[in-house]
Structure 1
């Protein structure tokens, strides 16, 4: 009997759905001081073990199949089996974006759901390193990740935080390599552009931007964030204006360039930026092909990011999330990665494309991800999950790894 037949028997002959709900309840039951609640948890735990025992006695690898039924739905289990048939590998590292991936604004008070945190912890305890890969500042990420996962896990030596979309990698417990400031390796001319834009981005901004935005406290990137709820109409409006302002400052900061040239170059490179410029004042009558080679060379090293209603950002294309993840893998000693990469934005897409090209992982995205991200995910393994249900991909990973161990 092969694993397809065993999974069919598992989900057809046993009440796996009820077993799954018992496991979920036992795993995420909150710590409370009520004796009645604790007794309820104990009864559920006993029932969970009794149901697992039925499966343990029915299969040669009964412990594995009991764990699969308890941790994954039928669809998740068969998805994992398909992935195992395609790649014949287990996932050996998680690469996880945070905002709008592990958590979504307006759904759970912007917190990572308890089930997602529990599964991350469970996979980590099974020996899987975790790389948190985000555009946020290091201090901000350290705060909520430590609160959610615990100080022991964060300082385990097998967790890394790639922050500011690749400007640095923080891997506690690795001595001199604990914090790697990747932006220090950039050329002085590029760093000077960032210094110039950062020094003027607030002071020279129009009043609506000064009142409606704040400068995120990055170590290197220049990121304007809205003072309104992410995605709301006022946030969309002010970030659109902030993008135009950022492009103009960038043009003035690059030697021999103009604000019009910056607008033209990035409008030509990114349809989303072009659409914003067309709505907010127009694309200048400048042919991007007429720019001097020196100006083009500098612009091609700089990344202008637009995230509707969320951020307008200046970053370095030499320091994207791929650079950060590669640095994290190096510090963690992951020489042959096969990663689950989860994300929603174009910066995450670069990591997804990198692991695909290197045959080094699989990609998953929430249903509300950027269109180009969804196109990539649907063209590979179709791992699209519902908003705030990153746990489904972690459950699938749990099953994939156990099936790989049976081989």
Structure 2
């Protein structure tokens, strides 16, 4: 209990609120060419150091406690201490989603806040690698990462980008491992499914759908995005329609990748009398039935679009279901409908990134808001390899997982507050 007593003393006896205000000002003061402004910054920095000196002289290991007080409020500090008591180790890598996690259309105008960027540089300077893990294209995420963190940090060898939800990993400064195209390792028959979907997805779409969506410029995944503001009613309506369309494309592409006789031999149903379908007896509801059973959100969309499957999961031929088992159909409300590979999810990408970065015994912080991030969180939990944190507007399943583990939920657009908590965890871990 000694450390808890020391934290109580720290926050009871010292004006930690003012200390944090000085620290925040010094940290995020913008670069300006003004003598008056620079003098003001220097005065604030001098005051900050004086206040830290008071704490340094009052505690054994006072430098660490001064840093704790300057970075975290009372609740954050005690949360960090609880985590240290539970796990007994520091976080040795950050795994961070971007959209609606580090930045938010609702709170940060789709910019990563300066206090968040500063905390990321603090982790980097302390030797903690950073893995940016996103569904976006490499060029897009690389651009704003360099803009926010700087070219030198991104190319330091301690930053990796898992892009397109795990289809590729980009880690500058690692020679032949700088770019790993994980999708190239997929079996040819799975690659053929994606090639067919990609070639048909826009040309075969109905006119209204084709005018209302665009194909994200991915290397591998097939992602339809709305031509409307993300989150709007128009975006929600068109993405729901796009999801149904993608499911039927997946159905056709999977069947086309299989031998007709193979499907007929494996199908126990009376396909010869099917009301619809081709010579194989294929029903366009196979994919709908499979993915509706796997994902309640997809089922709800199908029902709302009057496209609920007429078949049950048991009606899907095993050989077709086996191929569906390897293909992910993801739905992001009013944002995107996507086809990806379940063998190339964010968790697989993160494992590859950590391998390149040389993190042999990972204990990571996973921050994210969506189902693709949940796979990484579950991997960390199953492997005893880290913590999970999420903004309070995350999907139900993500929030459920986070609340069942360490309850690390933060306000929308306030990712810096969670990073402060983990920064303090690492400071406390150094005390032994």
Q: For the superposition of Structure 1 and Structure 2, which TM-score range results when normalised by the shorter chain?
A: over 0.9
1:323 equivalent in alignment to 2:348 = yes
Of residues 363, 377, 384, the one that matches 2:388 is 363
* Distance across 1 between alignment mates of 2:372 and 2:20: 34
1:333 equivalent in alignment to 2:358 = yes
Q: Is the 8 A contact 2:215 2:225 kept in 1?
A: yes
In the other structure, the counterpart of 1:385 is 410
SS at match of 1:203: coil
SS at match of 2:343: coil
* Distance across 2 between alignment mates of 1:79 and 1:351: 22
Question: How far does residue 316 in structure 1 lie from its aligned partner after superposition?
Answer: 0.5
1:400 equivalent in alignment to 2:415 = no
SS at match of 2:344: coil
In the other structure, the counterpart of 1:306 is 331
Cα distance per residue 1:144-201 (max 9 Å; x no partner):
0000001111111111000000001101111111000000011111111101111111
SS at match of 1:318: helix
After TM superposition, the score normalised by the length of structure 2 is: 0.93
In the other structure, the counterpart of 2:233 is 233
SS at match of 1:104: coil
Give ranges in structure 1 of 5+ residues lacking alignment.
Answer: none
Q: Is the 8 A contact 1:341 1:364 kept in 2?
A: yes
Q: Residues 187-202 of structure 1: matches in 2 within 5 Å?
A: 187-202=187-202
SS at match of 1:116: helix
Q: Is the 8 A contact 2:244 2:307 kept in 1?
A: no
Q: Is the 8 A contact 1:248 1:263 kept in 2?
A: yes
Question: How far does residue 357 in structure 1 lie from its aligned partner after superposition?
Answer: 0.9
Cα distance per residue 1:22-67 (max 9 Å; x no partner):
1011100111222222222111111111111111110011110111
SS at match of 2:106: coil
* Distance across 2 between alignment mates of 1:258 and 1:159: 46
* Distance across 2 between alignment mates of 1:286 and 1:2: 62
Cα distance per residue 1:219-259 (max 9 Å; x no partner):
00000011111111111011001101101111111125542
In the other structure, the counterpart of 1:50 is 50
In the other structure, the counterpart of 1:116 is 116
* Distance across 1 between alignment mates of 2:232 and 2:40: 42
* Distance across 2 between alignment mates of 1:346 and 1:375: 11
Give ranges in structure 2 of 5+ residues lacking alignment.
Answer: 256-262, 264-281
In the other structure, the counterpart of 1:141 is 141
Give 1 or 2 for the bigger CA radius of gyration.
2
Root-mean-square deviation (CA, aligned residues, Å) is 1.0
SS at match of 2:58: coil
SS at match of 2:77: helix
1:354 equivalent in alignment to 2:379 = yes
In the other structure, the counterpart of 1:26 is 26
* Distance across 1 between alignment mates of 2:290 and 2:383: 30
Of residues 307, 315, 319, the one that matches 1:290 is 315
Q: Is the 8 A contact 1:265 1:288 kept in 2?
A: yes
In the other structure, the counterpart of 1:246 is 246
Question: How far does residue 108 in structure 1 lie from its aligned partner after superposition?
Answer: 2.2
Deviates more, 1:259-268 or 1:369-378: 259-268
Kindly report structure 1 stretches of 4+ aligned residues shifted beyond 6 Å.
none
SS at match of 1:86: helix
Deviates more, 1:137-146 or 1:277-286: 277-286
Q: Is the 8 A contact 2:244 2:302 kept in 1?
A: yes
Cα distance per residue 1:54-101 (max 9 Å; x no partner):
111100111101111001111100000000000000000000000000
In the other structure, the counterpart of 2:39 is 39
In the other structure, the counterpart of 2:94 is 94
1:273 equivalent in alignment to 2:293 = no
SS at match of 1:223: strand
* Distance across 2 between alignment mates of 1:201 and 1:65: 57
Cα distance per residue 1:298-351 (max 9 Å; x no partner):
111100000000000000001100110010011111110000000000111111
* Distance across 2 between alignment mates of 1:207 and 1:7: 63
Of residues 261, 264, 267, the one that matches 2:286 is 261
* Distance across 1 between alignment mates of 2:357 and 2:342: 23
SS at match of 1:6: helix
* Distance across 1 between alignment mates of 2:117 and 2:182: 28
SS at match of 2:285: helix
SS at match of 1:251: helix
SS at match of 1:259: coil
* Distance across 2 between alignment mates of 1:118 and 1:259: 51
